[in-house]
A and B are shown apart, each in its own frame.
Chain A
Amino acid sequence: EAQVTQNPRYLITVTGKKLTVTCSQNMNHEYMSWYRQDPGLGLRQIYYSMNVEVTDKGDVPEGYKVSRKEKRNFPLILESPSPNQTSLYFCASSLGFRNTEAFFGQGTRLTVV
């Protein structure tokens, strides 16, 4: 089954404690991205990757890091989480970035206290 898998689904952590949210896709897609979804602000892109070892900033990259060492995996790293990073996070993958369907994971609900 074609899918994007994120882990964990839910995470409560404390300010400053480094964390990683994993994302894996089994569709051999080149393009992957991370979004955060907040009430009233919609889905905002954090980082994206057009291929292995190629990543770039989206609209809200501050406080986040990503890596793309393999085609299927695109982890999101929060080196020092802060309460303003409490949000719902989605990973997505697609064949490209134009006119192609984006497949989303089920989301990670992160709370930073």
Chain B
Amino acid sequence: TQLLEQSPQFLSIQEGENLTVYCNSSSVFSSLQWYRQEPGEGPVLLVTVVTGGEVKKLKRLTFQFGDARKDSSLHITAAQPGDTGLYLCAASSGTALIFGKGTTLSVSS
């Protein structure tokens, strides 16, 4: 099974700080997705990146797909308490959608 490794596992920051979380693999993927999961809910898709080197922005969130399509990063600018949650990267592996273990982000005011 191909693995997606996410780092850091936990991140606790103050409101207004910037942060970056990473998703790495030794495998090449045709696309990679980022989901956010809030307590008591299922994951919700944030973005899909498809092209190597692609950068997508979603308000204060910036997603980048590595040139070799093996890794991705999520950068949050000026984090807010509403950004608190579990961030998961996911990719298609054969006929399955596999997930990294996630980064738990806590933003305090």
Contact = CB atoms under 8 A, between A and B. Distances in A.
Interface residues of A, number: 25
Nearest to A38: B101
B2 to A, nearest CB: 11
A50 B44 CA distance: 21
Given A48-B96, A102-B97, 11 more contacts: A33-B97, A35-B99, A40-B101, A43-B99, A56-B95, A58-B96, A90-B42, A92-B97, A97-B92, A104-B44, A106-B42
Contacts, number: 60
A81 interface: no
Interface residues of B, number: 24
Contacts of B88: 42-43
A48 B88 CA distance: 20
